Amino acid sequence: MKREKKIQNSPINVWLIEDNLAYSNTISKLINNTSGMKCLKVFSMCEDSIKNFSPEELPDVVLLDIGLPGINGIQCIGKLKQISTDIQIVILTVYDDNDKLFDALCSGASGYLLKDSSPEKIISSIKEVKMGGAPMNMLIANKVLKMFSSFKQTKSDYGLTDREREILQYIVDGLTKQQIADKIFLSFHTVNTHIKNIYNKLHVHSRSGVVTKVFKENII
Amino acid sequence: MKREKKIQNSPINVWLIEDNLAYSNTISKLINNTSGMKCLKVFSMCEDSIKNFSPEELPDVVLLDIGLPGINGIQCIGKLKQISTDIQIVILTVYDDNDKLFDALCSGASGYLLKDSSPEKIISSIKEVKMGGAPMNMLIANKVLKMFSSFKQTKSDYGLTDREREILQYIVDGLTKQQIADKIFLSFHTVNTHIKNIYNKLHVHSRSGVVTKVFKENII
DNA sequence: TAATCAATCGCACGAATGTGGTATAATGCT
DNA sequence: AGCATTATACCACATTCGTGCGATTGATTA
């Protein structure tokens, strides 16, 4: 009973990592003026946040500005997550380029906000990420989804036949011509011919070339 | 002036592809009872939506249930996008597994809602996607971001030295030992030795093996 | 100081590769 | 019926590869 009450009532412990003093003042005040959350620590560098922490008072949510001096802000995400995966990290930045966004998400960020976000959006994002959500600006969410569609494999085929594709797979697996011949009960010469044709179709002249092409262009 | 007014006032043209009649009735009524949007067509199969369309009356937004009979709902996304990339597709489904989600996003979906979403969420999502956003449920957004962190390369290294890594890159590029030697002004024998060491460290015995390992385990 | 490691260079040789041919039977298309 | 494609098979040969061995130099470390 007491425990339950504590969990419900304990404010969300928010840390802020941000080098712009004016902005960090604004945000920390905003948070502290909101019931249900407290901005307990403010750092201007990632290093400080990692050094100055004690295991008892881990943050629930970290608002992190990437692109500030000192070590790479992106790396900071990983280091914080290393301390505890329970720390939810929300990026708060002016950068909206795909590279930073992608790197931040890959490193384990749970949210991504641009600095032009409204105070209401920032507050709701803190609540949302605490509840297991992934707050983002509309623009950011759109970029994230577009990244997926850019993953879409073009599946080049180069007009390979089924047999050629089969043998190509064995080449990628590292088998020699003789091993391939044995495996699919063909003559060494037949395998040799197929490989010749594969090389012609893919315009390569070596095993390394063909394997690299297979992976880079998602053949097979 | 007149044009501007038309753009502002023309309702969002929404299509619904959904085989559950009760649910599709509910949703289409919900949309038609909301000012600013109209549900002009309802299909129970993807095929119908692709056949029965005329270039003049393209939808702005399609609410698509994946996992209904007929062709794969995922493929439907691609086909609709092929007709026009301006069509914004929002998935509306009961499935929340990573595979369906991933495939849908890769195929070009601009939003992903679960069927337990509130009517308000559905309406706001239609507006949001029209404005260039990417509406998702909290749970879905979280899954999407988690997918990114699962991409994170482990960067196996196998204790390769800088020189070895350099030569490994040339192998991947398809150069022969002699070509590598010429390129970095080394003796053929030195390159040979480096490659021997690389093979030992990576536990491979052929060029195909080493290249495959490089790509599968993100070495270099 | 001794030891270890990385980078360099060398030789030898069997195994495998890449490439130039040619040829036959089966299948499908038009 | 004729043509194209595919899969099959063979030969030959120069090139390249993989791997066994050993050796010297310089830098770093114990």
Element (H, E) at B23: helix B21-32
Rg (CA), chain B: 26
Calculate how close chain B gets to A191, using CA atoms only, in Å.
Answer: 16
Angle at B165 between CA A150 and CA A152, to 5 degrees: 10
CB pairs under 8 A between A and B: 114
Is the CATH number of domain B162-216 3.30.540.10? Answer: no
Q: What is the 3-state secondary structure (H, E, C) of A200-211?
A: HHHCCCCHHHHH
Average pLDDT rounded to a whole number, residues B67-77 = 76
A186 is near strand D: CB distance < 7 Å? yes
Measured between alpha carbons, how far is B141 from A136 in angstroms, rounded to an integer?
A: 9
Could you tell me the residue ranges of all domains in chain A?
2-151, 162-216
Cα distances from B192 to residues A207, A210, B167, in angstroms, run: 17, 21, 10
Find residue A111's DSSP bridge partners.
A90
Find residue B16's DSSP bridge partners.
B42, B63
Measured between alpha carbons, how far is A3 from A46 in angstroms, rounded to an integer?
A: 33
Instruction: Annotate B101-113 with DSSP letters as a single string.
Output: HHHHHHHT-SEEE
* Residues in chain A closer than 8 A to B176 (CB atoms): 206
**Are A138 and A121 within 8 A, CB to CB?**
no
**Cβ pair B134:A131 closer than 8 A:** no
Interface of B with A in 24-53 (CB under 8 A): none
3-class DSSP state for residue A157?
A: coil
- Mean per-residue pLDDT of chain A: 90
Interface of B with A in 68-127 (CB under 8 A): 102, 105-111
Task: Quickly give A194 CA vs C28 C1' distance in Å.
Answer: 20
Per-residue pLDDT tens for A150-173? Answer: 887 777 889 999 999 999 999 999
Q: Positive or negative, the Cα torsion across A71, A77, A83, A89?
A: positive
3-class DSSP state for residue A96?
A: coil
B25 is near strand C: CB distance < 7 Å? no
Nearest Cα neighbor of B140 from B77, B83, B97 is B97
Nearest Cα neighbor of A216 from B215, B27, B51, B193 is B215
Q: Positive or negative, the Cα torsion across A63, A67, A69, A75?
A: positive
Q: Is the pLDDT of residue B6 over 50?
A: no
pLDDT at residue A174, as a whole number: 96
Average pLDDT rounded to a whole number, residues A44-68 = 82
The complex's ipTM works out to: 0.78
Per-residue pLDDT tens for A85-127? Answer: 999 999 999 999 999 999 999 999 999 999 999 999 999 999 9
Q: Which residues of A68-81 are buried (b: 16+ CB within 10 A; e: fewer)?
A: beeeebbebbbebb
Nearest Cα neighbor of A59 from A47, A71, A50 is A50
Which residue in A has a C-alpha nearest to residue B214's C-alpha? A212
Q: Is the pLDDT of residue B208 over 90?
A: yes
Identity of residue B178? Q
pLDDT at residue B70, as a whole number: 57
Q: Is the pLDDT of residue A3 over 60?
A: no
Find residue B88's DSSP bridge partners.
B61
What class does CATH assign to A2-151?
Answer: alpha beta
Task: Quickly give A208 CA vs C17 C1' distance in Å.
Answer: 12
pLDDT at residue A8, as a whole number: 54
Identity of residue B29? K
Task: Quickly give A151 CA vs D16 C1' distance in Å.
Answer: 37
Measured between alpha carbons, how far is A30 from A38 in angstroms, rounded to an integer?
A: 9
* Per-residue confidence band for B10, with pLDDT thresholds at 50, 70 and 90: confident
Average pLDDT rounded to a whole number, residues B122-142 = 95
Nearest Cα neighbor of A208 from B219, B188, B213, B196 is B213
How is domain B2-146 classified at the CATH fold level?
Answer: Rossmann fold (3.40.50)
Long-range contacts of B26-34 (CB under 8 A, 24+ apart): B27/B63, B27/B92, B27/B122, B30/B119, B30/B122, B30/B123, B31/B123, B31/B126, B34/B123
Measured between alpha carbons, how far is B178 from A147 in angstroms, rounded to an integer?
A: 40
